Amino acid sequence: MKDASISLADVLFALVSTLDLVGDDDGHGKRVAQMSYQVGKAFGLSDTDLDELFVAALLHDLGVSTNYVHAHLIKSMEWQGVHEHCHIGAQLAERSSVLKYLSPYILHHHDRWPLLQSLVKKGELTEKQALFANIILLVDRVDAFAWQEISSKNYRHYHMARDFSLQQIEARWQAFFREDIYKAFLRACRADIFWMMNDKQEVIEFVQERLQNVDRLITMAELQEMAVIFANAVDAKSPFTYQHSIGVASLSAYLGKQLGLSESKQQRIYLAGLLHDLGKLDMEDDVLEKQSPLDHEERQKMNRHSFVSLMILRRIKGMEDIALWASQHHEKLNGIGYPARETDLPLESRILAVADIVQALAQDRPYRKGLSVEKILSIVDDMTAEGELDMQVVACLHANHQKAYQVALAEA
């Protein structure tokens, strides 16, 4: 993959689509971005500031990975742990040269206006940062109240929840929001389209169109930084999967190097390893952390995650091969894997499959402690004998087993 070959708009859309998998209100980040844009427009922001506000709102929940946190954010105006995800999201944004400028908005998007005002006076925030954070909080709460009503009444269309959401915001605005922001919101939301644009397909189209205003080509280094953010979001889903994606990526690239893959292919398989488990954000926390064998229904949910990863990644032009390898990490050469029961797998997918198994077995999980390298090799050998794994890749693992074990556990 050459530098400057991937669209930033494609990556941002994939990232918000990944974040929107958490919880059952599919599309929260996109709706908050759409409404923030409309409020900012009513407030009189410049086109440049509107674009910045839009992207900040799109990724405001960068730190939300668990259904537990998401449920509180939907049901409560404030709660004791509300700022934890803000800190996590801001730290993730700081790790990306492309997204670093969003960190203050993400960090402060649950702060009330009086606190934001005091931070401006202390010189800890700019006026614009405080303004944008407060706009995002306002529409974030609008969406939370609307979704409560939609869920309880089984409404088919978003605008049916308008009255309830407006009543809730009206009762609270003086304690939380700057007055001219609230008035801009009232001007914007008079139009039916403000609410109707939040239906699923409509908001997707709106977001994709607006992202073209901030689109540019990104370098491999920038893409890798952003892929690490994806991976951290997934691995934060459960303490038992912490650093799993990083470990799989590192081990895949290491085995690929030993097997003679070019430097470019090593970079690509590293990205596939970082991104292979995106679909796990679509799963309930208790399924991932269950300390006993999964039942049939839970297994069906688990088996869907690699397909979801494919659906997200295939939208990024120029990463079609990476999307394929990532989605095939549970395929088996004898056809018993999922989601497609493919047997004619490229070498990169075969490497990724072995790396995923080795890292998972080496890592502590809810139902067992991490296994020794000797036990892992025995299990992998049995799977190879059953025709599930590639003999060449497994032979490479044996030849480099101590180093591979260290790399899988991020010790190297």
DSSP letter for each residue of 40-90: HHHHT--HHHHHHHHHHHHTTTTT---HHHHHHHHH-SS-TTTTHHHHHHH
Supply the pLDDT for residue 290: 79
User: What CA–CA distance (Å, rounded) separates 381 from 10?
Assistant: 40
Supply the pLDDT for residue 412: 47
Peptide bond into 339 cis (omega under 30): yes
Write down the architecture of domain 7-214 according to CATH: Orthogonal Bundle (1.10)
Neighbours of 44 (CB within 10 A): 10
In this prediction, residues 35-51 reach a mean pLDDT of: 98
User: 307 vs 154, 233, 340, CA distance in Å?
Assistant: 28, 18, 9
Instruction: Indicate the length of the chain as a whole number.
Output: 412
Instruction: Identify whether the C-beta of residue 210 lies closer than 8 Å to the C-beta of residue 33.
Output: yes
233 closest CA partner among 61, 8, 13, 6: 61
Are 7-214 and 237-408 in the same CATH fold? yes
The amino acid at 167: Q
Query: Model-level pTM?
Result: 0.92
- Per-residue confidence at 79, pLDDT binned at 50, 70, 90? low
User: What CA–CA distance (Å, rounded) separates 182 from 185?
Assistant: 5
User: Facing residues of 6 across strands?
Assistant: 218
pLDDT in tens, 345-363: 999 999 999 999 999 999 9
- Per-residue confidence at 101, pLDDT binned at 50, 70, 90? very high
Rg, Å, the chain Cα set: 23
Share of the chain above pLDDT 90, in %: 80
CATH 1.10.3210.10 fits 237-408, yes or no: yes
Domain extents in the chain: 7-214, 237-408
Q: Which residue has the higher pLDDT, 4 or 102?
A: 102
- Find the helix or strand (DSSP H, E) in which 292 lies: none
Supply the pLDDT for residue 261: 98
- Per-residue confidence at 325, pLDDT binned at 50, 70, 90? very high
Least confident span in 206-215, 283-292, 345-354: 283-292
